[in-house]
Chains A and B, each alone.
Chain A
Amino acid sequence: MMLLKIFFEFFKIGAVTFGGGQAMLPLLQRELVVNLQWISMDKFLYFVSVAEVTPGPVALNMATFIGYELKGIVGAIFATGGIVAPSFIVILFIAMIAPKFRENKIYKRFMSGIKPVIVALLVNAIYLITVRGFKTLVPYIMAVAAFLVFSKWKVNPVILLLIMGAVGMLVL
């Protein structure tokens, strides 16, 4: 019974949050900490701090954390399933009808306005990462170095991340 509750709680949150994991956090907090009181505020904040620095999307990390806290591994699987299901259903539907509207003139005009927006979103992402994570000048210099290396030698992005991580451990 509790497992189904966990699934539907996360399903609900997955279905109504737009704009990725960060947008999901306030809603998770209101539902799970304040309304249902499944976990304490302290624990929630601890989960957020770990979810942000571990691999994988923040939303999925939070679902696994909270699900595990409530009902162990099975709870983690149900919570993750709940957060994934709405996305999966909605996107499957869109992907199925996509070939029909791709040649549509209205759709093409709509998409023609999106590309410059994506550039702006990327600039915003850089701003958010640097403002939150970089406390001294050194990381900024490292980021510029990473940019130069990446644009000049087209290194594999994962290798570059690992190298920068190692450099960070040495110089930060």
Chain B
Amino acid sequence: MRLNLLIRIVDSKGIKKSIKLFSIFFYIGLFTIGGGYAMIPLMRESLVKKEKYIDEDKFLEIFAISQITPGPIAINMATFIGYEQEGIIGSAFATLGIVLPSLIIITIISMFFVNITKFTPLQKLFIGILTGVTGEIAYLTFDMTRKMKIKVFNVSILLFSLTELFLLKLNPIYVILIGGALGLLFGKSGNGK
């Protein structure tokens, strides 16, 4: 009887989707190597392209919101997308998914106290993976630039943001907020394209 109930819960659509969300974010957490931005191409591939949970515009919007709110971007994005898909249960599963790989891997490293950074083949593996991450982010940048309309508004915000980041070394949050403020002043309330 109780087992029947359990099977029914696991079979229900919401739980199935939540487990799916868990596995997607677990996979993303496992292969995010080299900082938070490394997961952007992965998330785009699995959530936008493959599963079609959200469209590109919404993905970028959630990314921007995750950056200007407190906490690690990866967790913010997992919570947000999880909630959009399957409510609180979905967000809990997605967040657990992104958290577990770190928790498991670092616990194992701590247990055996191995200084993996001293191990040359692993260093080479890491740099190799970083070249892949760089290539993927470069493609994403290229793709977004290509889709962006060449307008004075877009080009000026892009150049202004680059100046803020490279010359003034501003924190990305301020760069996003300034971009948003410029959008408020000069942007259009259409679909933002």
When each residue 113-127 of chain A gets 1 if its CB lies under 8 Å from chain B and 0 otherwise, what string results? 111111111111111
User: Is B10 part of the binding interface, using a Cβ–Cβ cutoff of 8 Å?
Assistant: no
Contact A88 B91 (CB under 8 A): yes
Of the stretches A1-9, A32-40, A57-65, the one at the interface is: A57-65
A46–B117 CA distance with the chains assembled, in angstroms? 9
Within 8 A of A (CB), among B37-71: 37, 39-42, 45, 60-61, 63-71
A165–B72 CA distance with the chains assembled, in angstroms? 25
A124–B172 CA distance with the chains assembled, in angstroms? 10
User: Is B30 part of the binding interface, using a Cβ–Cβ cutoff of 8 Å?
Assistant: yes
A49–B178 CA distance with the chains assembled, in angstroms? 33
Contact A117 B124 (CB under 8 A): no
Within 8 A of A (CB), among B124-142: 124-142
Q: How many residues of B contact A (CB 8 A)?
A: 106
Q: Which of A64, A148, A151 is B107 in contact with, Cβ under 8 Å?
A: A64
Q: A129-B35, A161-B31 are in contact. Are A116 and B157 (CB under 8 A)?
A: yes
Most buried by A among B76, B109, B183: B183
Q: How many A-B residue pairs have CB under 8 A?
A: 379
User: Is B144 part of the binding interface, using a Cβ–Cβ cutoff of 8 Å?
Assistant: yes
Q: How many residues of A contact B (CB 8 A)?
A: 98
Q: Which residues of A lie under 8 Å from residue B175 when comparing CB positions?
A: 117, 120-121
Q: Which of A65, A113, A133 is B106 in contact with, Cβ under 8 Å?
A: A65
Q: Which residues of A lie under 8 Å from residue B68 when comparing CB positions?
A: 18
Report A96 CB to chain B, min CB distance, Å. 7
Contact A124 B117 (CB under 8 A): no
Contact B64 A129 (CB under 8 A): no
